[in-house]
Amino acid sequence: MGCRFEFEMNNKKMVFETGKVARQANGSVLLKSGKTVLLATAVMDDKPIEEHFLPLTVQYIEKSYAAGKIPGGFVKRETKPGDFETLTSRLIDRSLRPLFPKGFYNPVQITVMLLSVDENADLQSLALDAASAALFVSDIPVARSVAGVRIGRKDGSFILNPTLEELEEGTLDLFVSGTKEELLMIEMRAIGSVDVEIEPTVAVDPMIDPMLADDIVQIPYVNELKEEELIEAIELAQKAIKTAASEYEKVFVEAAKPKKDVPLFDEKADPSIVTYIKEFYSDDIDRALGGMAKSERGMEIKAIIEQVLGDDTAVKEEWSEDQVKAAVGQVKRERVRSMILDEGRRADGRGLKDVRPISIETNLLPSVHGSCLFTRGETQALVTCTLGSRQDAQMFERITGKNASYEEFMVHYNFPGFSVGEASRIGPPGRRELGHGNLAKRALEPALDKTRLDSIIRLVSEILESNGSSSMATVCGGSLALKAADVPLLKLIAGVAMGLVAEGGKYAILTDIMGLEDHDGDMDFKVAGSEEGITALQMDIKLGGISLDLLKEALDQAKDARLHILSIMEEAAAEIEVNEEVLPSSEVFHVEPHKIVDIIGQAGKTIKEIIEKFEVSVDLDRKEGEVRVAGPSKAKVKAACDHIKTLTEGGGAKREIPQFEIDKPLKGKVKKLVDFGAFIELPGGVDGLLHISKISRKRIGHPSEVLHEGQEVEVVVKSQKGHKIELALAEPMD
């Protein structure tokens, strides 16, 4: 018999139905909110796996029919998940995984399918609520409910569970999940930048045009969030989560199945083995911790386990490898935590607030538009920046969107096995890679000065070495790679990973954690921003909750670390030498709208010739008369712009073009020298291109080695196709 529950809370109206569909699953829920319908199921295998970890799989799947669409492309069915689906699956996983009891090793699969969609729905929040409800009403031994809350901000005021329209028009996107007792996960991003009005009497940045001094001007401003403002927003979310999760548990208990009696494996090590290892191997473990501070692999710990197993005592007592491994792991964890809490030091010798040594090298790759090798301790990211034109934007479709969207700023993160000393196959990016790339993108995007940006940007982070927060190394390296490619930035952005160890009433906040401290600590959160505030944050809490006062202290400590890193980055940015020779260029100018047809020509012939001749892309706005030219070099873009202006100012493509006899000598004048050749003015006032390879018998680096502007030369026409005239010197020079 099914149950139906209606909720209206936290600016959300929802209807949950159980026992109606997917009844073979251990738990299933149909959630309806407006026109959005989601089906969530939870299924558990009866047998646990042998390896000691929770094999939880979460899949969020969007069906095209939910929006009345047929999938695009050749295959007319849903195939691999999109980035939004993958990131949503990861968000649900991180929120629900802490609910399972320790020692639970039965495989669990949670599936959330989007069956119908309202274009203004917050699908991530609804998907988490549906997944949590399916798990709660199932017979899987989880007796707590999770709620997800999103906080937006507009005109300085926080908005609880904003609509997508309100979110896009605002300056903040904060997602928090938790139970009625504790927070479990936090994700935050600042949304873009805003224009701030500056009165003429107020000092403005030197980049402001002096001609505007008598007018009110607008300058772009990064939407950072101050630490105290973030705490205020999280406090609002925490209250809403407590209300929702408490109500869910109170009502859903009516539909919940009796929980199965699933065996839980005791994760505690044998006390006698622990005592033995502490007695005879403490010094070895201390030495091993020093080695683990330099590697995520922990080969020294594995060697100790092998050594213990070979002892006479272990052989006589018939200790298994799992028993010894658990005991060594417990002693190692206790030692890491006691060093931090009791001695105020870490395995690599640092103090609790110390950032590892940082080194930065920019534009080390000569053929790349912008590059940065960022090294912090044993974490190293090589980040490259590539600039493109509008056709290079990544097209994607959102299930809530009516038309295709274009991603103009891309951040791709790669984590090969060799970065942690592992021999593993390099394949397509997984959830971790997509998640880290998305975090870096959210951190960096608000700092882009989009008022001066006319390129499509792709950042690629190759993690070459990893021992602690390669995603934050990607943020730091990415910010400098953008600078190295001469991308207009409002501010540099830095990121740092923070940790926490709490036990017996004591706690210690750790700055710039390494892999060892992430594994044995109680919290991992990554904070990125400028010197003024936070642009992105991601937090996973392993404790049974965290106080807002402690979180405020951690954020303040993270700010100190961020300012330290930014000071080093500023020094590196001041020494950047831009790769002018390889940087693409673009130029925007306006013509009379009716002149656009002259640029296009009959059946597009003229614009095609321009694109081929100058190797550029040309975008035209017929309504506004805007002409946007982009190409691989400033010289080619400038030449193309000059040519287009000549067309529009001199009567356009309609004027008669002289027809020249092939290979007949003509007198011409060198009009302009460019990297790839020279433009020669021919009789009749038309230009021909003399390629650099046709100028001299010897190989030359630039036409200026042989020719100069205004020089008269004798040339022959080698080919003529409309405006496109290719020339050669009648007698090549030596």
More confident residue, 540 or 458: 458
Residue 378 has pLDDT above 70, yes or no: yes
- Binning pLDDT at 50, 70 and 90, where does residue 543 land? low
Q: Which residue has the higher pLDDT, 363 or 590?
A: 363
Q: Kindly report the backbone phi and psi dihedral angles of residue 243, in degrees, each rounded to the nearest multiple of 5, phi listed first.
A: -65, -50
Closest CA to 220 of 197, 257, 194: 194
- Nearest CA-CA partner of 400 in 124, 708, 595, 589: 124
**How far apart (Å, rounded) are the C-alpha atoms in residues 366 and 287?**
42
> Has residue 146 got a pLDDT over 70?
yes
Residue spans per domain, the chain: 3-252, 271-343, 358-574, 585-654, 665-729
Contact 42, 59 (CB under 8 A): no
What 3-state class would DSSP assign to 357?
coil
Split at pLDDT 50, 70, 90, the class of 455 is confident
Which comes out higher in pLDDT, residue 237 or 585? 237
State the average pLDDT over residues 442-464.
Answer: 91
pLDDT of residue 422: 83
- Partners of 728 in the beta sheet? 716
User: Residue 358: CA atoms inside 13 Å, Cβ hemisphere, count?
Assistant: 24
| Closest-CA residue to 85 (of 53, 107, 117) | 117
> What tens digit of pLDDT does each residue of 544-596 get?
667 788 889 999 999 999 999 999 999 999 999 998 888 888 788 888 777 88
User: Is pLDDT of 434 > 70?
Assistant: yes
The string of pLDDT tens digits covering residues 156-166 is: 899 999 988 88
Does 212 score more than 60 pLDDT? no
Q: Poorest-confidence range of 185-199, 482-496, 500-514?
A: 185-199
Distance CA 304, CA 86 (A): 39
Ramachandran class of 575: left when φ > 0, alpha when ψ lies in -120 to 50, beta otherwise: alpha
Q: How far apart are CA 257 and CA 26, in angstroms?
A: 9
pLDDT-based confidence at residue 625 (cuts at 50, 70, 90): confident
pLDDT of residue 297: 63
**Residue 193 pLDDT grade (very low, low, confident, very high; cuts 50, 70, 90):** low
C-alpha dihedral, 541 to 545 to 547 to 553, nearest 10° = -20
Would the pLDDT of 188 be above 90? Answer: yes
In degrees, rounded to 5, the angle at the alpha carbon of residue 475 between the alpha carbons of residues 469 and 479 is 155
Class of CATH domain 358-574: alpha beta
Over residues 244-260, mean pLDDT: 93
| Average per-residue pLDDT for the chain | 87
User: Residue 722 region, left (φ>0) first, then alpha (ψ -120 to 50), else beta?
Assistant: left
> Any idea which residue has 């203004």 for tokens?
120
Q: Which CATH class is domain 665-729?
A: mainly beta
What tokens were used for 70?
């047929």
CATH number given to 3-252:
3.30.230.70
- Residue 195 pLDDT: 52
Above 80 in pLDDT, residue 190? yes
Over the stretch 561-572, which tens digit does the pLDDT of each residue have? 999 999 999 999
Nearest to 239 by CA among 231, 229, 227: 231
User: What is the rounded average pLDDT of the residues 229-252?
Assistant: 93
Q: List pLDDT tens digits, range 498-522.
A: 999 988 888 999 999 988 888 888 8
User: Residue 436 pLDDT more than 60?
Assistant: yes
Token pair recorded at residue 215:
């007018």
Q: How many Å is the maximal CA-CA distance in the chain?
A: 103
- Looking at per-residue pLDDT, the higher value among 151 and 283 belongs to 151
pLDDT band at 403 (very low <50, low <70, confident <90, very high): confident
- Per-residue pLDDT tens digits for 54-86: 899 999 999 999 989 888 777 888 888 999 999
| Token code pair at residue 447 | 């700092």
What is the identity of the amino acid at 384?
T
Sheet with 617-621, strands from edge to edge, namely 585-590, 626-631, 617-621
pLDDT of residue 653: 42
635 pLDDT above the threshold of 80:
no
Lowest-confidence range among 217-221, 420-424, 554-558, 566-570?
217-221
What dihedral angle (degrees, nearest 10) is formed by the CA atoms of 332, 333, 336, 337?
Answer: -150
Q: What contacts 24+ positions apart, CB below 8 Å, involve 53-57?
A: 53/105, 54/97, 54/100, 54/104, 54/105, 54/108, 55/105, 55/106, 55/107, 55/108, 56/93, 56/96, 56/97, 56/100, 56/107, 56/108, 56/109, 56/110, 57/107, 57/108, 57/109, 57/110
Residue 389 has φ and ψ, to the nearest 5°, of -100, 180
Predicted pLDDT at 22: 94
340-355 pLDDT per residue, tens: 999 988 888 899 999 9
pLDDT digits (tens, 9 = 90+) for 311-342: 888 888 889 888 898 899 899 989 999 999 99
pLDDT value, residue 203: 45
| E strand intervals along 512-662 | 523-529, 534-541, 585-590, 617-621, 626-631
Q: Residue 617: its pLDDT value, please?
A: 87
Q: Same CATH fold, 665-729 and 3-252?
A: no
Closest CA to 498 of 538, 525, 529, 536: 525
Superfamily of chain region 585-654:
K Homology domain, type 1 (3.30.1370.10)
pLDDT at 202 over 60: no
Q: Is the pLDDT confidence value at 289 over 70?
A: yes
Contact 447, 491 (CB under 8 A): yes
Where does the pLDDT of residue 733 fall: very low under 50, low under 70, confident under 90, or very high at 90 and above?
A: confident
* Mean pLDDT of the region 444-453: 88
Residue 155 above 90 pLDDT?
no
Provide mean pLDDT across the span 442-466.
91
> Could you tell me the pLDDT band of residue 246, with boundaries at 50, 70 and 90?
very high
Q: How far apart are the first and last CA of the chain?
A: 95
User: Among 140-154, 286-300, 439-453, 460-474, which is the least confidently predicted range?
Assistant: 286-300
3-state helix, strand, coil in the chain (%, to 5): 35, 30, 35
- Calculate mean pLDDT across residues 701-714: 88
- pLDDT for position 656: 61
